[in-house]
Amino acid sequence: MTANPVFDRIQADITDNPVFLYMKGVPLFPQCGFSARVVQILTHVGVPFASANVLEDPALRDGIKEFSNWPTIPQLYVKGELVGGCDIVTEMFQSGELTEMLTEKGIPHQAAA
């Protein structure tokens, strides 16, 4: 009972990619400070990730908020599960939980030397 057709696309994104980020802009050119910070953290911990730019797709921009019952972007998904937005990702990075979680879930990552 998929209410919103964009949900199928989201489900495919987060199922096919172990680490997926919904953001404003693209990783090389984020268009929002919160998205930029999450990109910076993911790059720093050296984990490959795929992303979608919600600014290019109004249906996705609204759909992702409804999909996750989460009102803001960025949204980081790991193994199909919402990890959080900028605040949670930052908190987890600072406490070391982010890399712990990636290791636990068997996602290769390597911090830049």
Partner 1 sequence: MAMPASEIEALIKASLPDAHVTIEDLAGDGDHYAATVISAMFAGKSRVQQHQIVYAALRGRMGGELHALALQTSAPV
**Residue numbers of the site for partner 1 (CB under 8 A)?**
34, 65, 69-72, 82-88, 91-92
Of 91 and 110, CB closest to partner 1: 91
Least CB distance to partner 1 at residue 85 (A): 8
Three-state SS string over the chain comes to CCCCCHHHHHHHHHHHCCEEEEECEECCEECCHHHHHHHHHHHHHCCCCEEEEHHHCHHHHHHHHHHHCCCCCCEEEECCEEEECHHHHHHHHHHCHHHHHHHHCCCCCCCCC
Of 71 and 106, CB closest to partner 1: 71
Least CB distance to partner 1 at residue 87 (A): 5
Of 44 and 65, CB closest to partner 1: 65
Least CB distance to partner 1 at residue 108 (A): 24
